[in-house]
């Protein structure tokens, strides 16, 4: 298979494409995979690191500001979109893909649009509960639209080309063993572990609240273990912030503050509760592992899609949602304490999460890619 993948801007639009790329290369040796993205997006770092070629294309998203600057930005965005489609056609003629997989983000629009105009099979992967503008615009002419939430099908108009596959999940998540992971970290049957993170770069507002929560935990003498990943941006000041609140974390071995959790698959598998954002990739991993969670959706994303993601899990009984506006350290700690010692409720949340997990999503997506390329030389 000659696969061309496009998507970018955030990890949520890149990591699913990388997961599928790995699956294709493993299950169909001799395949070729190429990516398209922007120079500024996270794809410019993640894709080359994984060893795949990345074609760069210049395009920017629309501004929602009705100011002279916002209008000028949108004029430029419209111009770049037109020129990007022309650029995309040149890239596609050179790559000669059997199929183009669009994983979201504004950079995927010109690539998928060009492929549709050139009669190259196109597949859209929409990992969020609320479909993005790019998916909405391109879905009518896509060969397949692959979704991860049943609600998304209705929002896209119950089209015949929609398939429910679930979100791709990293192999290390699927291979994680809870019993072995807990043994690795010295957790006994009665020990409780909370794992929290806000993303690789962290989140300023929520990390400030996390500093307050960690200080409260220490002052109250809570006995559950807590590992928090600050992200690179807060790695230095967050420990200092906790110190300013009168807490020396060295005196509280049950609290671990780290910049990044490198063994995330095992940490999540061992956890009794996860506190995190509500990105689709994170949700897919939590469901695959059957982990209960407290989700604080980021309000700074298009169409507020993270809250839609989290509410879908909450309605199923798999998580508790705490909204960022008005959130306090006390509220975060209270939500944690309400859940962490309630074994019956945690068990129910685990069952609900597992029910939401798709069976072999990577394989399902691969089969859809194969299906739309049947008959192509």
pLDDT number for residue 68 = 65
Contacts of 158 (CB under 8 A, 6+ apart): none
* Angstrom distance (rounded) from CA 205 to CA 219: 22
CA distance linking residue 369 with residue 83, whole number of Å: 28
Say what the pLDDT of residue 129 is.
82
d(CA 219, CA 330): 12
The pLDDT, as a whole number, for residue 184 is 96
Q: Which two tokens stand for residue 135?
A: 């998916």
Q: Domain limits of the chain?
A: 2-167+359-372, 172-356
Q: Is 127 helix (H, G, I), strand (E, B) or coil?
A: coil
Q: What is the DSSP string of 6-60?
A: E--SSHHHHHHHHHHHHHHHHHSTT-EEEEEE-SSSTHHHHHHHTT--EEE----
Whole-angstrom Cα distance, residue 177 to residue 289? 9
Look at the chain and count its residues.
377
CB 364 within 8 A of CB 358: yes
Give CA–CA dist 43/328, Å, rounded. 33
Strand order of the sheet with strand 293-295?
255-258, 225-229, 193-197, 273-276, 293-295, 319-321
Fold agreement (2-167+359-372, 172-356) = yes
User: What are the tokens at 59?
Assistant: 């395009």
Please answer whether residues 134 and 7 qualify as being in contact, where contact means their C-beta atoms are separated by less than 8 angstroms: no
Looking at residue 62, the DSSP 8-state letter turns out to be: P
Closest CA to 209 of 257, 241, 235, 161: 241
Q: Which tokens belong to 349? A: 């949340």
- Helix axis angle for 204-220 and 329-340, nearest 10°, is 60
Which pLDDT score, from 0 to 100, does residue 76 have? 57
What pLDDT is attached to residue 302?
Answer: 65
Beta bridge partners of 125: 146
With respect to CATH, is domain 2-167+359-372 assigned 3.40.50.2000? yes
Is the CA virtual torsion 206, 125, 56, 302 positive or negative? negative
Residue with the two structure tokens 């290390």: 172
- The three-class DSSP label of residue 259 is coil
CATH superfamily ID and name for 172-356: Glycogen Phosphorylase B; (3.40.50.2000)
In the prediction, which pLDDT does 201 show? Answer: 53
From the list 348, 42, 94, the residue with the least C-alpha distance to 200 is 42
Q: Residue-wise pLDDT tens for the chain (377 aa)?
A: 999 999 887 777 888 999 999 999 999 999 999 999 888 778 888 899 999 999 988 765 555 566 766 566 556 566 566 678 989 999 999 999 999 999 988 889 999 999 999 999 999 999 888 888 899 999 999 999 999 888 888 889 889 999 999 888 888 898 999 999 999 999 998 999 999 998 755 588 899 999 999 999 999 999 999 999 998 788 889 999 999 999 999 999 999 999 888 899 999 999 999 999 998 788 889 999 999 999 999 887 766 778 988 998 999 999 999 999 889 999 999 999 999 999 999 999 999 999 988 778 999 999 999 999 986 65
Strands (DSSP E) along the chain, which ranges?
Answer: 2-6, 32-37, 54-56, 99-102, 122-126, 144-147, 162-164, 193-197, 225-229, 255-258, 273-276, 293-295, 319-321
Q: Label residue 246 left, alpha or beta by phi (over 0 means left) and psi (-120 to 50 means alpha).
A: left
Which pLDDT score is estimated for 357?
A: 86
Are the CB atoms for 176 and 289 separated by under 8 Å?
Answer: yes
pLDDT at site 323: 94
Closest residue by Cα to residue 10 from 229, 261, 298: 298
State the number of CA atoms in the 13 A half-sphere of 219 facing the CB: 14
């Amino acid at each position: 298979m000659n696969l061309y993948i496009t998507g970018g801007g955030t990890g949520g639009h890149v990591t699913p494409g990388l997961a599928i790329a790995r699956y294709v290369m493993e299950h169909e040796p001799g395949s070729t995979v190429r990516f398209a993205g922007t120079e500024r997006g996270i794809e410019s770092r993640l894709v080359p690191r994984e060893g795949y070629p990345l074609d760069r294309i210049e395009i920017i998203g629309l501004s929602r500001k009705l100011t002279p600057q916002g209008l000028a930005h949108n004029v430029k965005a419209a111009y770049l979109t037109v020129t990007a489609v022309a650029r995309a056609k040149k890239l596609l003629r050179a790559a000669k893909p059997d199929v183009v997989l669009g994983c979201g983000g504004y950079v995927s629009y010109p690539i998928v649009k060009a492929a549709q105009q050139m009669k190259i099979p196109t597949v859209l992967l929409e990992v969020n509960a609320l479909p993005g503008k790019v998916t909405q615009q391109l879905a009518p002419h896509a060969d397949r639209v692959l979704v991860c939430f049943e609600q998304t099908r209705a929002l896209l108009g119950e089209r015949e080309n929609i398939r429910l596959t679930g979100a791709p999940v990293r192999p290390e998540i699927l291979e994680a063993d809870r019993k072995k992971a807990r043994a690795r970290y010295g957790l006994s049957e009665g020990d409780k572990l909370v794992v929290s993170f806000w993303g690789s770069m962290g989140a300023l507002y929520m990390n400030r609240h996390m500093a307050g929560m960690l200080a409260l935990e220490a002052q109250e003498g809570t006995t559950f273990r807590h590992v928090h990943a600050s992200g690179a941006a807060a790695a230095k000041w967050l420990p200092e912030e906790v110190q300013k609140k009168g807490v020396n974390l060295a005196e509280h071995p049950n609290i671990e503050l780290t910049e990044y959790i490198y063994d995330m698959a095992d940490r999540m598998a061992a956890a009794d509760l996860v506190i995190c954002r509500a990105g689709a990739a994170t949700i897919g991993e939590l469901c695959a592992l059957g982990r209960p969670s407290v989700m604080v959706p980021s309000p700074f994303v298009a169409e507020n899609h993270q809250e839609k993601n989290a509410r879908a899990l909450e309605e199923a009984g798999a998580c508790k949602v705490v909204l960022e506006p008005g959130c306090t350290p006390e509220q975060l700690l209270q939500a944690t304490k309400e859940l962490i010692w309630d074994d019956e409720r945690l068990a129910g949340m685990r069952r609900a999460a597992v029910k939401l997990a798709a069976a072999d999503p990577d394989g399902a997506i691969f089969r859809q890619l194969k299906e739309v390329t049947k008959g192509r030389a």
